[in-house]
Amino acid sequence: TFNVIYNKYYRNKQAFTRRLNSKYFSKTGGRISDFDGLFKQNARRLGWDWRLLAAQAFQESKFKAGSESGAGAVGLMQLLPRTGEHFGAINLFNPKENIRAAAGYLKWLDNYWRKDIPAVDERLKFVLASYNAGQGHIQDARRLAVKYGYNPNIWDNNVDLFLLKKSEKLYYRDPVVRFGYYRGDEAYNYVRAILERYGHYKTLA
């Protein structure tokens, strides 16, 4: 393994030169994607670092504007058509419209959680999880957290634990649960992956 890595990154001069000349190389290019300008423009509306919005877009589509999921989510930010339309997008395959609509939705989610979770960094996790799972499932997890003596306004090791438990019959059939079964590992991993990638992006651009 060592030899393979060494040869790839130190002996292959052609590949090294290609990386060095890339506009995405941190030392010379400082870019993350072809959509950095759109991320910067829309992140200002959210009060976000644009690299966080870029990290979410990568998680959703790997920066592929033509992406379409089996569930019908479309474009860079993988919006459902009805959500995109509600936030002003006509063509979700258009990166400008897609990112603008996603930012509108994220702003709406931020306002939704603001009263219960005033801390900005903490609220961000609830916003991201809601973007992925819908706020109904997150509210279910909060109600379970309260029932079992955990903090409903803290994500890590509190609400996230009960989102994971929503795939277990004991929990998704609990009377406090209103939205039923949910495979919580998807949203759980979604939040963690975006925040981890955001940390990497801050060192690149």
**Mind telling me the catalytic residues?**
60
pLDDT in tens, 164-200: 999 999 999 999 999 999 999 999 999 999 999 999 9
> What is the reported pLDDT for 9?
67
Closest by alpha carbon to 178, among 126, 129, 137, 147?
Answer: 137
Report the range of poorest mean pLDDT among 1-5, 13-17, 124-128, 133-137. Answer: 13-17
Q: What pTM did the predictor assign?
A: 0.86
> Span 60-69, mean pLDDT?
96
pLDDT for res 196: 98
Tens of pLDDT, residue by residue over 167-177, are 999 999 999 99
Q: Find where tokens 């990112």 sit.
A: 99
Query: Whole-number mean pLDDT of the chain?
Result: 91
Averaged pLDDT, 23-41:
75
- Residue 130 backbone dihedrals phi, psi, to 5 degrees: -70, -35
Band of pLDDT at residue 204, cut at 50, 70 and 90: confident
Q: What is the dihedral of CA 3, 8, 51, 41, to 10 degrees?
A: -170
pLDDT number for residue 12: 66
